[in-house]
Amino acid sequence: MTPLSLYIHLPWCIRKCPYCDFNSHEVRDEVPEDRYVDALIADLESELPRVWGRRIESVFLGGGTPSLFSPEALDRLFSALRARLPWRPDMEVTLEANPGTTDAQRFRGYREAGVNRLSIGIQSFDDGQLRRLGRIHGANEAREAFAAARSAGFDNINLDLMFGLPEQSVQSALGDLAQALALGPEHLSWYQLTLEPNTRFAAEPPILPEEDTVWDMQETGQGRLAEGGYTQYEVSAYARPDRECRHNLNYWRFGDYLGLGAGAHGKISLPGEERILRRWKLRQPRQYMEAALTGDAASGECTLTREELVFEFVLNATRLTRGVDTKLFTARTGLDPDALEPMRRRAIESGLLHDDSARMAPTATGRRFLNDLQALFLADPRGTP
């Protein structure tokens, strides 16, 4: 059976960042956490027939700013989830948290509730950049949040950090990275700022560094991360040994995941029906809560076609530095390996994919030009891959 993870979306934040294209909503009065937790539990109830008896391998609470929810609310939610689906004994439970919304006591409460991994949204240690990015915290608050998490007993922490920020120099980007490394997190998500559609930055673009400057940031930074003992195992993910994010690895290996919460997406294999189903939930929190509490909060669903299965598998697998075992393609999609040909052969001939029948892994060139590699596996408009 394909591994099953659980993604829970908590959509509220104090302030919407100008670069953010996630389904997040500014808090007007206070977070309706009791009603929302009730809705999440009801949402799971409606999904149970599709996943009944399957074990949850990991849980990830994303947002928004999940750390706006109290430890008591999460404890109630986790108790309800465990009562309905078995959890892996040593399961990874990740909570996204932002500096300015947490303290040591709150972190201790999250640990007691069952959270054992934190992902703290730092983005930069430059106060000027943090203001440009619309963040509610400063550099000192970021360092204090990390220290508070450590004092609460967390020994598995990810830091989110960006580079390629408005008018940023290579020296400034590497300075941010050096400060993150000095804290000694187990995991770093270090990625380039991009201007996404339907964001304030897309409507009012800031001045970003030149492409060659950004490449210098990335190439030099990757060397610093390697020197610091962090292995790049995915496009923007770096970890110390055995500290890779299990939840995200399940995505990239085309595992299943159940999506609960406003705007959450899910992918579920239905072996008895020989199909893979995608479902997504209503985006507006108020509509989502009303629908979940009275029936089904789904906004839509579809069965993945053969062409979509091929492309989505490759889209995820090629993000991993080492790629995946070729046998995983059939195990996860139900398709014969021949479905990857001749696109795979073109990728090999283009120098973007290693010529290895046992493993699908991008070359160094393929990692640099990942979009070009993935595009080779898109369906032809005439209906054939």
Contact 101, 69 (CB under 8 A): no
Per-residue confidence (pLDDT) for residue 100, from 0 to 100: 86
From the list 360, 308, 370, the residue with the least C-alpha distance to 337 is: 360
pLDDT tens string, the chain, 385 residues long: the values are 899 999 999 999 999 999 999 999 999 889 999 999 999 999 999 999 999 989 999 999 999 999 999 999 999 999 999 999 999 999 999 999 999 888 999 999 999 999 999 999 999 999 999 999 999 999 999 999 999 999 999 999 999 999 999 999 999 999 999 999 999 999 999 999 999 999 999 999 999 999 999 999 999 999 999 999 999 999 999 999 999 999 999 999 999 999 999 999 999 999 889 999 999 999 999 999 999 999 899 999 999 999 999 999 999 999 999 999 999 999 999 999 999 998 999 999 999 999 999 999 999 999 999 999 999 998 653 344 3
pLDDT tens string 287-297: 999 999 998 99
Asked if residues 29 and 79 have their Cβ atoms less than 8 Å apart, the reply is: no
DSSP secondary-structure letter at 337?
A: G
Q: How far apart are CA 333 and CA 336, in angstroms?
A: 9
What type of residue sits at position 77?
L
Model confidence pLDDT, tens digit, residues 288-333: 999 999 989 999 999 999 999 999 999 999 999 999 999 999 999 9
What is the structure's pLDDT at 263? 97
**Considering only CA atoms, which of 158, 141, 154, 143 is closest in space to residue 100?**
141
Residues 6+ apart with CB under 8 A from 307: 379, 385
Cis amide leading into 381 (omega within 30) = no
Residue whose token pair is 């009603």: 35
Query: Which domains, ranges and CATH numbers included, belong to the chain?
Result: 4-249 (3.20.20.70), 306-375 (1.10.10.10)
Q: Contact at 8 Å (CB) between 349 and 379?
A: no
DSSP state of 64: S
> Residue holding tokens 């591994």?
3
pLDDT of residue 380: 52
CA 162 vs CA 175, 189, 217, 265: distances in Å: 12, 8, 11, 25
Q: What are the distances in angstroms from CA 51 to CA 8, 20, 115? A: 16, 32, 23
Number of H helices and E strands in the chain, helices first, is: 15, 16
